Amino acid sequence: MKNVKSNEKGKSITTAMVNLDIAHQRLHNQRIAQQRFERPADVVRWLGAVQAQDYLGSLWALGLRMRNAVEADIEQAIADGAIVRTHPMRDTWHFVAAEDIRWLLTLMAPGRIASMASCYRRLELDEATFARSNAIFTKTLQGGKQLTRQELGAALRREGMAIAGLRLTFLLHRAEIEGVIASGRRRGKQFTFALLDELVPASRMLEREETLAELAYRYFTSHGPATLQDFTWWSGLAAADARTGLEMVKSQLAGETIDNRIYWRSPSTPLAKVAMPAAYLLPPYDEYTVAYKDRSAVLNPRDAQRTGNGIFGPTIVVDGQIVGVWKRVFKKDTVIITQELFTPLSEAQKEALAAAAGRYSRFVGKSLIRA
């Protein structure tokens, strides 16, 4: 990577080169450009945590980084407890490797709970209420039961607890934050909850400073080049804690200054080694987009609104840059993929995009129709 020059003409050219370099390194480090992993848990462990708000999209986020994965492989890993879907960070769903879930929840829980204090007051939820609902969840789910949100709500009602409005949502959410429950197997299209202690055997715990260092190291090696501000956003940590984590692992990272910002990455990251043309169909909330506060290295600002700032919709990435959006519709044994491009592609890039669509159709096990 190079420092951006000061003259306006040079700045435009050099910034594009810098962005391309950052994008290529992220493709490599996130294991999108080279799929080395055989198991879903390996992907999640490498990335630290993977946002899983859009469930079907999050299955593809893992499959995208694996060799020859199919959707059933990811669902089986969830059913087996190898990866856990819960609410450890930023108050949204994430996949976490089973052996990491307890130390990550312990690190994050105080901040998550404090951030929702006003909501708790508004809904008249106090610590005694949470202790009671957690006890009911434990009693109801023990013995390997996996129940839906509606079934757990009914259990609370039978015990005389009010669950109207958002109360049930926050009671379930708090139980996840405290490590009482987590997502279980899907029952048809319905999601279930299970006791975390029955899903995942006892796993290692780390001291608080160790957890900050561990999370920072995993983020910058798997998501770098990235800034401290990116890490703070991704983790949801307080700024001081994020800075502490980075300071503890700086000696194991390489840092480079671009436009007065320091980008950190693994020192073993090859520079711009991604073969081109390369095209990928990314799901909503993929780590390639959602994991950074500043997405300008992969997304032209003029296209931000059309992509939900690169986060909310499925995006098309060609040679590291977001160049469009895509949709998929399932009909019996086929998947219909439509695309909207923001910029013309070369013939080689079109071929790479067709290959990416074919890879997705194999993942979901359906014949491909490109509309």
Around Cβ 214, how many Cβ atoms within 10 Å? 19
Give the structural domain span for 250.
8-30+206-265
SS3 276: coil
The reply to whether 215 and 193 lie within a common domain is no
Q: DSSP state, 96? A: E
The model's pLDDT over 121-168, given as tens digits with 9 standing for 90+, comes to 999 999 999 999 999 999 999 999 999 999 999 999 999 999 999 999
Torsion, CA 15, CA 26, CA 50, CA 325, rounded to 10: 60
The reply to whether 178 and 261 lie within a common domain is no
For residue 329, the cross-strand partners are 336
- The pLDDT confidence band at residue 3, using thresholds 50, 70 and 90, is very low
Q: What total number of domains does the chain contain?
A: 3
The reply to whether 334 and 231 lie within a common domain is no
Q: Is residue 352 part of a domain?
A: yes
Q: Are 219 and 250 in contact (CB under 8 A)?
A: no
Query: Which position has the token pair 């005694």?
Result: 128
Position 10 scores a pLDDT of: 37
The reply to whether 91 and 124 lie within a common domain is yes
The tokens describing 84, both together, are: 């856990």
Mean pLDDT check: name the lowest of 265-274, 286-295, 317-326: 265-274
- The pLDDT confidence band at residue 19, using thresholds 50, 70 and 90, is confident
Q: Are 282 and 289 in contact (CB under 8 A)?
A: yes
Q: How far apart are CA 290 and CA 300, in angstroms?
A: 15
Position 307 scores a pLDDT of: 73
Q: Is residue 303 part of a domain?
A: yes
pLDDT at residue 11 is higher than 50: no
Q: Is residue 2 part of a domain?
A: no
The model's pLDDT over 75-125, given as tens digits with 9 standing for 90+, comes to 999 999 999 999 999 889 999 999 999 999 999 999 999 999 999 999 999
Query: Which position has the token pair 């501000």?
Result: 229
- Provide the CATH number for the domain around residue 157: 1.10.10.10
